[in-house]
Amino acid sequence: MKTITIATRKSRLALWQTEHVAASLSRLNPDIEVRTLPLSTRGDEILDRSLAEIGGKGLFLKELEKALLDGRADVAVHSLKDVPAEKPDRLELGAFLPRANSADLWISDQGVPIAQLPRGSRVGSSSLRRISQLRAIRPDLEVVALRGNVETRLAAVREHRVDATVLAAAGLERLDVVPPSALALDVAEWLPAPGQGIITVQQRAGDEETARLIASLACARTTAQARAEREVVRVLGGDCRMPLAAHAWVDGDRLRLRARLGDESGRLIDAVSEGMCDHAVEIGAEAARGLLDSGGAELLDRLDMSQS
């Protein structure tokens, strides 16, 4: 019997996602044995600084990728929004699973919407994407750094250390911990992170037997969305140090994409593009060029200087 070992982070959400992949693999391939290899990553261990300060979201992946390269694991399971757009040597993304809810949720103690939160209220977030969009509509709110797993950030609101926070709907829904007072932020107005709500499976390049197994998990609709959104990131050279948002959706046989680039002052630049689903990469590239041509190039130059 063939054994597949899955590398995963140790967080509750990461383990849920890995068990979901393992169950799907076992159901579709009953003749294989699936094992998990939980690992600790620097992104999980360093919580007193923002990801932008300590090296980006790639810190959530490095230990898992090492396990793939040295043969301890056959595949790794990631939240796509944590995966850098540049593909590492000898590794590739083998499947994008069906997308969950891609929206962000606004979490406040009494369900007070963004517009009604009192001036000077404290909103906990370390996401530059969320901060830029929040400041665009409520520059009078105070943003304070807040990192950690979903339970930690929910507790910060519950214990009144912050008045509100913003979290990805998919993670809360997967763990069944959505607060009753949570408010969904419309993706037409508040854009999510590229790849938000998508689980992806990474493998060694050239491992054709594993690739065939993993391919059975893929969703064609989600694959088109992921490719378009990730191409925006790739063209702009983006990571968590860039306030970049993107959301693609399928409308019949058309793929539509909205991308947004911001800065910490609340300035936002939007671009849209669309086309056939099998041209997802080109659609993403067109949106990225639209951002650059609309002032994004100058915004990125200023961002680079502020971080140098």
| C-alpha triplet 44, 46, 49: angle, nearest 5° | 125
The 8-class DSSP code of residue 198 comes to -
Sheet holding 199-204, edge to edge: 32-39, 2-9, 75-79, 199-204, 91-96
Integer Cα distance of 299 and 11 in angstroms: 35
- Catalytic residue (choose from 82, 104, 163, 207): 82
Catalytic residue status for 304: no
Burial of 132 per CB tally in 10 Å (0-12, 13-18, 19+): buried
Integer Cα distance of 273 and 68 in angstroms: 36
Using only C-alpha atoms, the chain has a radius of gyration, in whole angstroms, of: 19
Q: State the catalytic residues.
A: 82
